[in-house]
Amino acid sequence: MKYFIFIFFIVFTFTGCSQKLDVLPQESNKSTLIQESDVDEFDDEFEDENREVFDPLKGYNRWMTNTNDKIYIHLFNPVSEGYATVVPKTARIGLSNFFHNLKFPIRFSNNLLQLKFDASMKELGRFMINSTVGVLGFVDVAKMEGIEPQEEDFGQTLGHYGVGSGFHVVLPFLGPSNLRDTLGFGVDTWMDPITSGSLEYQAVENTTESLGIATAYYVNKNSLHPGEYENLKKDALDLYLFFRDTYEQQRAKEIEQ
């Protein structure tokens, strides 16, 4: 018994000493605290947290972010939820596949423009398989066979050739974007089969029709991601800065790939 008291005494004093050495007294046995010398290494790895971002539209962007937020919470999400209760998930996934398959020209040409021939061929293969065996694209047969979609858009193509993102722009309804990606979105929309345009394969009659299709596209897509927006929002201390930062990080990564 005496021994045990002794042991405990030793252990306590010992931990007491090591606590002094450590910057953090509590739970120092549970995990580490990196050394001062390592901090610099980590600091180099992450972007300078105090770097000023060139954001001339900040005022408008903030306002648009809040407006979009209200639209998502009070209109877009409830509509998507209502739609999800009426249309079964399988049908919604089918429709999502169908739209995705139709947008093939965007992915194909942007892969080609970036000279990613392998990826372009994969996209072409996917389009041929899914449009036929996949019943007009409703079933993503190609993915089941392991041929994954090769997402590319014109914003990424521009980025690939070194075009900088320019300043941040929040688009109505669509959310975060920047100068480069807004231009890219314009070009992609121009060649998008489900918008009204002058291209041969564009069967959509007029702007009203293409807006209707776009709404269906986004509501259907959103219905497959319930709760995601609200969930993401919880991580934000400042909604606008959070979306701006995560968007730019994500795009930088997509362009790099």
Partner 1 sequence: MLKKTVLLTLLTMSTLLGISESNIKTEMTIKIDEITTVLQDKMLPVESKKEKIYSNIDGVFDYKTMSQISLGKKWKTLSDDEKNRFMTAFEGKLKASYFEKLELYTDQKVRVKELEKVKATRIQLHSDIIGVEETYEVIYKFFKVNNSSDWLIYDVEITGVSIIQTYRKQFAEFLKTKSFDELLASL
Closer CB to partner 1, residue 38 or residue 186? 38
Closer CB to partner 1, residue 33 or residue 203? 33
Closer CB to partner 1, residue 100 or residue 168? 100
Closer CB to partner 1, residue 206 or residue 257? 257
Shortest Cβ 190–partner 1 spacing (Å): 24
Shortest Cβ 203–partner 1 spacing (Å): 24
Instruction: Label each residue of the chain as H, E or C.
Output: CHHHHHHHHHHHHHHHHHHHHCCCCCCCCCCCCCCHHHHHHHHHHCCCCCCCCCCCCHHHHHHHHHHHHHHHHHHHHHHHHHHHHHCCHHHHHHHHHHHHHHCHHHHHHHHHHCCCHHHHHHHHHHHHHHHHCCCCCCCCHHHHCCCCCCCCCHHHHHHHCCCCCCCEEEECCCEEEEHHHHHHHHHHHHHCCCCCCCCCCCCCCCHHHHHHHHHHHHHHHHHCCCCHHHHHHCCCCCHHHHHHHHHHHHHHHHHHC
Shortest Cβ 199–partner 1 spacing (Å): 26
Closer CB to partner 1, residue 38 or residue 207? 38
Closer CB to partner 1, residue 22 or residue 209? 22
Binding site for partner 1 (CB under 8 A): 3, 6-7, 10-11, 14-15, 18, 23-26, 29-35, 38-39, 41-43, 45-50, 89, 93, 96, 100, 148, 221, 224, 227-228, 231, 234-238, 241-242, 245-246, 249-254
Shortest Cβ 7–partner 1 spacing (Å): 6
Shortest Cβ 24–partner 1 spacing (Å): 6
